[in-house]
Structure 1
Amino acid sequence: MVDDGEGARAEWVRELLVRDVEAGFVELVREYRGLIHALLRRAGRHDAEDLAGEVFVRAYGALLGYAPAKVRGLRLRAWLVTIAVNLCRNEARGRQRAPAVVGLEEVVEPRCQWDAFDDVVERLDLRAWLARLTALLPKHQRMAVVLRHGCGLSIGEVSAAMGCAESTARSYASRGLARLRELVAEQGVERGFGEAQAA
Structure 2
Amino acid sequence: MIAPDPDWELMTRLAKGNDQALSALMDRWQERLFFFLCRLTGDAASAADLAQETFVRVYEARSKVRPKGRFSTWLFTIATNLSRNLARWRRRHPTVSLEAPGDREHSRPLEELLGSETPPGTQLERREICEQVRAAVLLLPEPLKETLILFEYEELSYEEIAQVLGCSRKIVEMRLYRARKSLRKALARKQLL
TM over 0.5: yes
Change (3 A) 1:120 1:15: farther
Matched, 1:145 2:140: no
Q: Within 1, Cα distance between the matches of 2:17 and 2:69?
A: 16
Q: Does 1:93 align with 2:88?
A: yes
Q: 1:187 aligns with which of 186, 189, 193?
A: 189
Q: In structure 2, what residue type is equivalent to 1:41?
A: C
Runs of 4+ in 1 over 6 A off after TM superposition: none
Instruction: Determine which of 59, 71, 74 is the counterpart of 1:79.
Output: 74
Q: Matches of 1:138 and 1:94 in 2, distance apart?
A: 16
Q: Secondary structure at the match of 2:19?
A: helix
What is the total number of aligned residue pairs between the two structures?
176
1:43-82 Cα offsets, whole Å, 9 max, x none, are 212322222112111221222xx34xx3333632111111
Give the structure-1-normalised TM-score: 0.71
Alignment-mate amino acid for residue 75 of structure 1: R
Mapped partners of 1:28, 1:84: distance in 2: 15
Structure index of larger Rg: 1
- Structure-2 change in CA distance of 1:181 and 1:7 (3 Å): farther
- Asked whether the 8 Å contact 1:17–1:71 carries over to 2, the reply is no
TM-score by length of 2: 0.72
Q: Is the 8 A contact 2:34 2:48 kept in 1?
A: yes
Question: Quick one: distance in 2 between partners of 1:148 and 1:87?
Answer: 19
CA–CA distance in 1 between the matches of 2:137 and 2:66?
35
Superposition deviation, residue 36 in structure 1: 0.8
Structure 1 alignment gaps of length 5 or more: 111-116, 195-199
Q: Which residue of 2 aligns with 1:57?
A: 56
Which residues in structure 2 correspond to 1:59-138 (within 5 Å)? 59-63=58-62, 66-67=63-64, 70-73=65-68, 75-100=70-95, 121-138=124-141
Distance in 1 separating the partners of 2:20 and 2:66: 14
Deviations 1:3-57 (CA, angstroms, capped at 9, x unpaired): 6xx9743354344335444122122112211221111111212322222112111
Tell me whether 1:25 sits opposite 2:22 in the alignment: yes
Going by fraction, where is helix more abundant, 1 or 2?
Answer: 1
Unaligned stretches of 5+ in structure 2? 104-119
| Offset, 1:180 | 2.2
Map 1:166-177 → 2, pairs under 5 A: 166-177=169-180
Question: Taking every aligned residue pair, what percent have the same amino acid on both sides?
Answer: 28
Q: 1:7 to 1:125 in 2, by over 3 A?
A: farther
